[in-house]
Amino acid sequence: MAERSYITPVWQNHKQLDSKSYDVIVVGTGIAGMTVSLSLDSKLRIALVSKEQFTESSTYKAQGGMAVAVGPDDSAEEHFADTVRVGQGVCREEAVNLLAGEGPAALEFLQSLGADFCHNQNGLDLTREAAHSRNRVVHYYDYTGKYIAELLADEVNRHNNIERLDRSFLVDIVTAQDGCCGCIVEHNGRLVYLRAAAVVVATGGYSGLFKRSTNEVSASGDGIAAAYRAGAMIADMEFVQFHPTAFTTLSGKVFLLTEALRGEGAVLLNSAGDRFMFNYHPSGELAPRDEVSRAILRESTRQGGETIYLDARHLGKEYLADRFRQVYSELAKNNYFIERDTIPIAPAAHYTIGGIKTDLWGRTSVGSLYACGEAAATGVHGANRLASNSLLEGIVFGRRIATYINETYSAKREPSELSAGVTAATGSYTDLNALRTKLDGVAGVVRRGEELEAMLKWLSVGETNHQVSPVDHSYHVYNTYQLAGLLVEAALLRTESRGAHYRSDFPGKNDETFRKHILQQWGRKAVIA
């Protein structure tokens, strides 16, 4: 990426800022952040920081469920194999082993807090989603994420050692010579320095950078941007997973139609009313998400841009209205009845695989800075996430971070000198709509080098005009531009097609060069390693 200019951080003289001290700061109130907070030693004073209410998190919006190998015909080895196959050769196998092997313990963790997932006569009602070889998705109807998030939030409120700091925006991560020592947040219009011996980033992903996304605009990867500026290694930013079946409401918002619908037998139809997925993949509607998304676009193009539809009519009203309560209700509000109508769908940005590179204990390249959940690049997803592995990842690696901190925690003395990447930056970041629209067209389901190069230049030009200041609350806007640049740069460097990254000018895999990861770090040239 082009060199950037920055102004001095507005908080450089930290002694003039309001400050508060904790033992551990956890940023993010999704499944990962709340799991860390609840798993830390109750003697530790914890700040649980979130820029919005927990109901705005991607966890809260998750519909399908949590993949875990607990069925009588399933095993951790089978779960491992499915995850690695979908990851297209770049999964970190040690991390996948942990994910699959610690899945039952993650389920027990939720059950110990009172979780009671859907059951049938044989026990847990395990459903199947795309690319799974077994029925292994634990769910609570079709609002599993909401159910889990509310359960965790209630438990957080019972812990006196956890202080909630809602509507507090992470501005920067603060470092000293021996690593991270806190962060700067904007709370009630003021900058506040939160001091701690450990900081955990669990702020979620960056799919909100795209115009058409199943997540809110607030999913702008702020924690990843802050960690990048603090010197943390970033990995896999080019891998953005698009969900094949997203519905556009009357208000123009994008609403996810859970993959569990196809797992239960819903099919995709073209405008002529014909099924087409088996023309593109032997697994049909249950092919990996990247394959289904590209097939939808190809079939639509083949028919001159006509709409593609999801058809679940044969499942019947009684079943659909009970099993898929959230979907049924939302579609009915928009004058669609899934037992009667075929539902118009198109892919939308849904989940981002890239993030802050971590080891198996959630440690980043910056001392005392940890990351988990969608903000982290643990390596479990490779080039394409297996459906319903994300909630599981948040718990498994959230608990591992807590275990590591519990075993190694020691308070730090206040350092005399602090530093960070920057808060403020140059850039006329006034037209987020233009950026998001451009990303849809340039870095969407199908990408091309010439367009990626042009967008990278466009982003660089946009970084030379105006300064961001705390007065105009533009931190998140700057983060959006910064992460868009990292995403496009990585997509341009990966001159092949693999998993969720598809280059029409390089449609094949190149294992010799690219069965690796693209790593990006502040002040250094991106590398393939």
How far does Cα 232 stand from its chain's mean position? 18
Mean of all residue pLDDT scores within the chain: 91
pLDDT at residue 461, as a whole number: 67
Rounded to two decimals, the pTM is: 0.93
Amino acid at 40: L
**Does residue 269 share a domain with residue 220?**
no
Residue with structure tokens 């990426």?
1
User: Which residue pairs, CB below 8 angstroms and at least 24 apart, start in 503-508?
Assistant: 503/447, 503/448, 503/449, 504/446, 504/447, 504/448, 505/448, 505/449, 505/450, 506/449
**Does residue 109 share a domain with residue 35?**
yes
**Does residue 224 share a domain with residue 254?**
no
**Does residue 317 share a domain with residue 398?**
no
**469 within some domain:** yes
CATH number at residue 233: 3.50.50.60
Asked if 289 is an active-site residue, the reply is: yes
Structure tokens that stand for 100 in this block: 């699959």
CATH number at residue 464: 1.20.58.100
**Does residue 343 share a domain with residue 355?**
no
Decide which of 301 and 18 is more confident.
Answer: 301
pLDDT digits (tens, 9 = 90+) for 347-378: 999 999 999 999 999 999 999 999 999 999 99
The candidate with the shortest Cα–Cα distance to 2, out of 357, 485, 362, 491, is: 485
Domain boundary among 349, 371, 400: 349
pLDDT digits (tens, 9 = 90+) for 395-408: 999 999 999 999 99
pLDDT digits (tens, 9 = 90+) for 262-318: 999 999 999 999 999 999 999 999 999 999 999 999 999 999 999 999 999 999 999
- DSSP structure class, residue 489: H
- Report, as an integer, the average pLDDT of 113-120: 96
CB-facing half-sphere around the CA of 103: CA atoms within 13 A: 29
**Does residue 89 share a domain with residue 30?**
yes
pLDDT digits (tens, 9 = 90+) for 236-268: 999 999 999 999 999 999 999 999 999 999 999
pLDDT at residue 54, as a whole number: 82
Structure tokens that stand for 127 in this block: 């459903």
- DSSP structure class, residue 278: G
- Across 327-460, where does the E strand assignment appear? 343-352, 355-357, 369-371, 376-377
Does 53 have pLDDT greater than 50? yes
401 CB-near residues (< 8 Å, 6+ apart): 36, 200, 361, 362, 370, 372
**Does residue 294 share a domain with residue 172?**
no
Query: What gap in Å lies between CA 360 and CA 150, rounded to an integer?
Result: 28
Amino acid at 521: Q
CATH number at residue 281: 3.90.700.10
Per cent of the chain over pLDDT 70 is 91
Question: Could you list the residue range(s) of the whole structural domain that residue 476 is in?
Answer: 432-528
Query: What gap in Å lies between CA 85 and CA 87, rounded to an integer?
Result: 5
What domain count does the chain have?
3
pLDDT at residue 522, as a whole number: 93
Q: Kindly state the greatest CA–CA separation across the chain.
A: 70
pLDDT digits (tens, 9 = 90+) for 479-503: 888 999 999 999 999 999 999 999 9
pLDDT at residue 433, as a whole number: 85
Structure tokens that stand for 475 in this block: 């931190």
Domain boundary among 359, 376, 408: 408
- Report, as an integer, the average pLDDT of 202-214: 96
pLDDT digits (tens, 9 = 90+) for 434-446: 899 999 999 999 9
> What three-state secondary structure class fits 264?
coil
pLDDT band at 2 (very low <50, low <70, confident <90, very high): very low
Q: What is the rounded end-to-end Cα distance, in angstroms, of the chain?
A: 18
pLDDT at residue 55, as a whole number: 81
Strands 190-195 and 18-21, bridge-based pairing: parallel
- Report, as an integer, the average pLDDT of 102-117: 98
pLDDT at residue 467, as a whole number: 42
Does 1 have pLDDT greater than 80? no
Does 163 have pLDDT greater than 70? yes
Our CA dihedral for 365, 370, 373, 374, rounded to 10 degrees, sits at -40
Choosing from 92, 136, 262, 289, the catalytic residue is 289
Query: What gap in Å lies between CA 283 and CA 263, rounded to an integer?
Result: 12
Contact 365, 339 (CB under 8 A): no
Does 4 have pLDDT greater than 80? no
**Does residue 279 share a domain with residue 323?**
yes
pLDDT at residue 411, as a whole number: 77
Per cent of the chain over pLDDT 90 is 81
**518 within some domain:** yes
Q: Identify the burial level of 364 via C-beta atoms within 10 angstroms of its C-beta, where 0-12 means exposed, 13-18 middle and 19 or more buried.
A: buried
Contact 207, 375 (CB under 8 A): no
Contact 149, 395 (CB under 8 A): no
Q: Identify the burial level of 9 via C-beta atoms within 10 angstroms of its C-beta, where 0-12 means exposed, 13-18 middle and 19 or more buried.
A: buried
Query: What gap in Å lies between CA 247 and CA 211, rounded to an integer?
Result: 14
**Does residue 175 share a domain with residue 33?**
yes
pLDDT band at 177 (very low <50, low <70, confident <90, very high): confident
**Does residue 362 share a domain with residue 308?**
no
**Does residue 304 share a domain with residue 218?**
no
**Does residue 192 share a domain with residue 65?**
yes
pLDDT band at 460 (very low <50, low <70, confident <90, very high): confident
**414 within some domain:** no
**423 within some domain:** no
Query: What gap in Å lies between CA 368 and CA 525, rounded to an integer?
Result: 24
